[in-house]
């Protein structure tokens, strides 16, 4: 299978083939995503919580995001590689947004950056896309970096005005030149209307089945995050439980002297040497 580019995504969109997106945070998760045929990898700032144990995503720095994005880029070459710009590194000005995007691409080896926010981010997104030439993925609805001002992690666009605002935000992001737009935690009919109205692919998470693609958080879908699981996530396997079982079996076998087994997990000396050694 060949390298996924913006052109590939446009073709999938044109052919009505839903786009699959998953987050990845390090080399092994990137290899798994690559081998599974996922179209797009997002190094989401969810990594602050699910991989680094921070309380929320606002604590992670651009350099930490770059460190992980580099590792992901070493594990996966085929999927399109998008990385989140974290809280605070694109809010101050268009210039700051450009510098952070360039740094993420040059040092992190990302192919695109993702920025949270609708209309209010449109000007700087346009500058990143059109002045610098770095593709940008938008993100509206529940935007975790500003969850505090949204009144917590809650579904957006449930009032008529709220829904209209989301449509306006989506249009502004399309106008600004976003390659994809993530729609997070909104009623399905709102995501459907936005998707029908735009000619930019939408990627839903908690936004129902009528978007142009879907994204899930690696750790949530694989049962590898201990703190909570959003309603909209589907857990495909409980890896956390399986890993815990394996680790506790290991601990017990060590205590019981059952591991390692002589001959099976050990190196022999050549018989003549062993004789002399003894």
Q: Is 184 a catalytic residue?
A: yes
| Distance in angstroms (rounded) separating the CA atoms of residues 47 and 217 | 9
Residue 205 contact partner, candidates Na ion, ligand KIV, none, CB within 5 to 8 A by sort of partner: ligand KIV
Number of residues that bind ligand KIV (CB under 6 A): 10
Q: Which stretch binds ligand KIV (CB under 6 A): 33-41, 44-52, 69-77, 165-173?
A: 44-52
Number of residues that bind Na ion (CB under 5 A): 3
Nearer to ligand KIV, 13 or 218 (CB): 218
Q: Are 69 and 81 in contact (CB under 8 A)?
A: yes
Instruction: Write down the least CB distance from residue 57 to ligand KIV, Å.
Output: 7
Contact status: 205 vs ligand KIV (CB under 6 A): yes
Of 126, 184, 192, 274, which is the active-site residue? 184
* Alpha-carbon distances, residue 253 vs 242, 245, 256, 263 (angstroms): 17, 12, 5, 16
Task: Report DSSP letters for 118-173, one per residue.
Answer: SGGGHHHHHIIIIII---EEEEEES-GGGTTTTTSS-----SHHHHHHHHHHHHHH
Residue among 69, 2, 36 at smallest CA distance from 221: 36
Nearer to Na ion, 80 or 193 (CB): 80
Site mask, Na ion, residues 43-72, x = CB under 5 A? Answer: -xx---------------------------
User: Residue 5 gets which letter from DSSP?
Assistant: -
| Distance in angstroms (rounded) separating the CA atoms of residues 71 and 66 | 9
Identify the residue among 182, 185, 191, 222 touching ligand KIV (CB under 6 A): 182
Instruction: Write down the least CB distance from residue 48 to Na ion, Å.
Output: 9
Give the bridge partners for 183, in sequence order.
140, 204
Identify the residue among 19, 41, 44, 104 touching ligand KIV (CB under 6 A): 44
* Alpha-carbon distances, residue 244 vs 122, 159, 226, 248, 251 (angstroms): 45, 43, 12, 6, 10
Instruction: Write down the least CB distance from residue 96 to ligand KIV, Å.
Output: 20
Instruction: Write down the least CB distance from residue 142 to ligand KIV, Å.
Output: 9
Identify the residue among 34, 39, 45, 126 touching ligand KIV (CB under 6 A): 45
Task: Report DSSP letters for 250-278, one per residue.
Answer: HHHHHHTT-SSPTTTSSPPPPHHHHHHH-
Instruction: Write down the least CB distance from residue 274 to ligand KIV, Å.
Output: 54
Residue among 45, 125, 128 at smallest CA distance from 85: 45
Largest Cα separation within the chain, whole Å, is 86
Q: Which stretch binds ligand KIV (CB under 6 A): 41-49, 127-135, 162-170, 231-239?
A: 41-49
Run of H or E residues at 181: strand 180-184
Positions touching ligand KIV (CB under 6 A) are 23, 42, 44-46, 84, 182, 205, 215, 217
- Which residues are the active-site residues? 184
Chain residues binding Na ion by CB under 5 A are: 44-45, 84
């Amino acid at each position: 299978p060949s390298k996924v580019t913006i052109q590939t995504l446009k073709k999938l969109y044109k052919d009505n083939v839903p786009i699959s997106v998953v987050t990845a945070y390090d080399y092994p998760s990137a290899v798994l995503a690559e081998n599974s045929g996922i179209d797009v990898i997002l190094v989401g700032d969810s990594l602050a919580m699910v991989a680094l144990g921070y309380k929320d995503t606002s604590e992670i720095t651009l350099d930490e995001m770059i460190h992980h994005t580099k590792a992901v880029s070493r594990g996966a070459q085929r999927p399109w590689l998008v990385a989140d710009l974290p809280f605070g590194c694109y809010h101050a000005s268009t210039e700051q947004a450009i510098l952070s995007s360039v740094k993420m691409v040059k040092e992190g080896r990302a192919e695109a950056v993702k920025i949270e926010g609708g209309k209010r981010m449109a000007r700087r997104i346009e500058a990143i896309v059109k002045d610098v030439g770095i593709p940008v993925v938008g993100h509206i609805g529940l935007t975790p970096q500003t969850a505090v001002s949204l009144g917590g992690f809650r579904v957006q666009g449930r009032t008529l005005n709220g829904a209209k605002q989301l449509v306006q935000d989506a249009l502004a992001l399309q106008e600004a030149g976003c390659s994809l737009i993530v729609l997070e935690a909104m009623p399905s009919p709102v995501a459907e209307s936005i998707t029908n109205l735009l000619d930019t692919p939408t990627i839903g998470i908690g936004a129902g089945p009528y978007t142009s693609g879907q994204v899930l958080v690696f750790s949530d879908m694989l049962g590898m995050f201990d703190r909570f699981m959003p309603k909209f996530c589907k857990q495909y396997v409980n890896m956390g439980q399986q890993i815990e079982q394996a680790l506790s079996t290991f601990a017990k076998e060590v205590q019981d002297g059952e591991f390692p087994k002589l001959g099976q997990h050990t190196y022999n000396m050549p018989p003549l040497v062993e004789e002399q050694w003894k």
